[in-house]
Chain A
Amino acid sequence: MAHSTAGVITLTVNGEKHTLPVDHRTTLLDALRERLDLTGTKKGCDLGQCGACTVLLDGRRAVSCLQLAVAAEGREITTIEGVSDGERLHPVQQAFLDLDGYQCGYCTPGQICSAIAVIEEHAAGWPSAATADVRPEAGPPPLTADEIRERMSGNLCRCGAYVSIVQAVAQAADAEGAA
């Protein structure tokens, strides 16, 4: 049976609907960058190994290079362009600025999208591989530097800005916890 290999899809990105024809092979990453001119999301390895292309899908972080655009139809997509409140930066963005959580900046949009989700996952009580006791009775683990490093391990930084990134995530988590 011959299958149609392209179609017209509607993507909801940062609250806006965009209708576009796509070849089914188009990844969400390429649709965002090449078709919707949302170039904040970066292409690093294009194989799900570096995290530069991290976006939020229905509020959860995902790598957009392994997400087919056609399969993202109907989901709320948030990119780095959509995380601030107008001109007011997201607390994670502000913390990366305050603490120099980057050098060249290429991995930064992915780092920030990932960190936003890390703080939410931690607040929801999710354990990580750095959590000594995952049983619910043990309670939620404190968001230590070890926890942040483990939870952010899917975002590589070739400049090696990790020390500042860990501090920025901790500061943003504190700011949101206090808010």
Chain B
Amino acid sequence: MGRYIFGRIGYMLITFFVIATFTFFLMQTLPGSPFNDERLSETQKERLYERYGLDEPVPIQYVKYMTNIFKGDFGVSFQYDGRAVSDIIGERIGASVVLGAQSLIFGCIIGLILGIIAAIKHNTAIDYVAMVIAVIGLSVPNFVFAGLLQYWVGVKLQWLPVAFWEGFEYSILPTISLSVFVIATIARFIRTEMLEVLGQDYIVTAKAKGLNQFAIVMKHGIRNAAIPIITILGPMTVSLLTGTLVIEQIFSVPGLGEQFVKSIMTNDFPVIMGVTLFYSILFIGVVLIVDILYGVIDPRIRLSGGTK
């Protein structure tokens, strides 16, 4: 197992290197410059270029940048005058992570329940209702839900705050809006998987032992049905973290997504690069975790081997 993870980390480094290189050269092709302010004179601009090392030829910039990131230095921001990129990310990441994690957990639990109920009550009214909910969740964009929640729960009923980030109750509405997509995806997936698992021979075996439906689903069903779910969990986690940007805007949450949009507007290369690389590390890390999780849930692909 240790060897396996070690190898995987090696691959992760290579992947990371490729992504860093690719984004770096992509940045070079972006039109415009970070210092496009009309108030700046030519000499001022030149001095700024010099200060941030932008006057040097591209290959040299590249080598410098790459050596710096492997030292853990992502450079300094252009728009915030010399603030380290890692500081900016660190400051903003908290809200995004809390929001993403809450939506994922909430979405998975509700989605799981909905999907299992739909599978057990296959082809009944309950099943159809659950699936209609799922389809709505998939097809209606989350900012629509966000707006509706703000209007009804926030403004009309006055139950919860509609904006800002000052405590748990502030996170409830954005979490719900974000998790609608998760609920819908998980519910549909679990329903399909569960239906297949419930048709397997070992479920009949369990039934022949005299177990009741509840025990069968909980003990024999969920674990087997969850195996394929793990696959979509990885990309979903990342899309939650990156996908928070609209929701963050709507609820004025000071998260990373909001910062990302701002940086693109101002051609703040170091921050764009930094956030992109941060996301890719996250993604690669999640994929690794998912693969390890597979082994935990499904003993057949446990890599430690065992007696054959």
Physical interaction between A and B: no
Q: Which residues does B use to contact A, with CB under 8 Å? A: none
Q: Which residues does A use to contact B, with CB under 8 Å? A: none
